[in-house]
């Protein structure tokens, strides 16, 4: 960090020292019960801004497909436990399945092989054909 010659006090300290002092202040405020409690909306906005800044600086974490799936799974599980998960209509579920099927079939055409199940001699995708996906979607939304 560049030296701060014209500034005094907190502003003249290096970034690490500022973070250390700010951290102590935040911990003290929480112990006293005077710390700001973020609403879910404020927390989302703060996270969005932080993510944008990290991407602009080039310091954002780049998720692997496996990490992204795990994060989505955990988020969905938490939403279901809290009762805030989106409940799909049969039409929405079919559309999501159709789009997912198209994506997995499109990735088969790439040089990396995508989701192609090599054990089936190159035919079809892991998890079944489009017709099998469609049938599974119809069966999962049958009225009992």
Tens digit of pLDDT at every position of the chain (144 positions): 555 556 888 889 999 999 999 999 999 999 999 998 899 999 999 999 999 999 999 999 888 999 999 999 999 999 999 999 888 899 998 998 888 888 777 665 554 444 444 444 444 445 667 777 777 776 666 554
Distances (CA, A) of 42 to 15, 39, 66, 109: 25, 5, 29, 42
Q: How far apart are CA 33 and CA 29, in angstroms?
A: 6
Q: What is the pLDDT of residue 119?
A: 41
pLDDT of residue 128: 67
**Model pLDDT, residue 99:** 87
**3-state secondary structure (DSSP) of residue 125:** strand
Instruction: Round to whole Å and give the CA distance between 79 and 45.
Output: 19
pLDDT at 123: 45
Q: Where are the alpha helices (DSSP H) in 15-120?
A: 15-32, 40-57, 65-82, 90-108
Q: How many CB atoms lie within 10 A of CB 12?
A: 13
User: Is the CB of residue 133 less than 8 Å from the CB of residue 101?
Assistant: yes
Round to whole Å and give the CA distance between 124 and 107: 12
């Amino acid at each position: 960090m560049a030296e701060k010659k014209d500034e005094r006090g907190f502003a003249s300290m290096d970034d690490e020292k500022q973070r250390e002092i700010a951290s102590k202040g935040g911990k003290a405020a929480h112990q006293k019960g005077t710390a700001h409690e973020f609403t879910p909306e404020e927390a989302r906005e703060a996270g969005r801004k932080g993510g944008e800044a990290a991407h602009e600086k080039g310091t954002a974490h780049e998720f692997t497909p496996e990490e992204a799936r795990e994060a989505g799974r955990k988020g969905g599980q938490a939403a279901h436990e809290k009762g805030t998960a989106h409940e799909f209509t049969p039409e929405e579920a079919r559309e999501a399945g159709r789009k997912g099927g198209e994506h997995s079939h499109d990735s088969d055409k790439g040089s990396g092989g995508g989701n192609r199940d090599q054990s089936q001699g190159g035919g079809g995708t892991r998890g079944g054909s489009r017709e099998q996906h469609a049938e599974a979607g119809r069966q999962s939304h049958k009225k009992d």
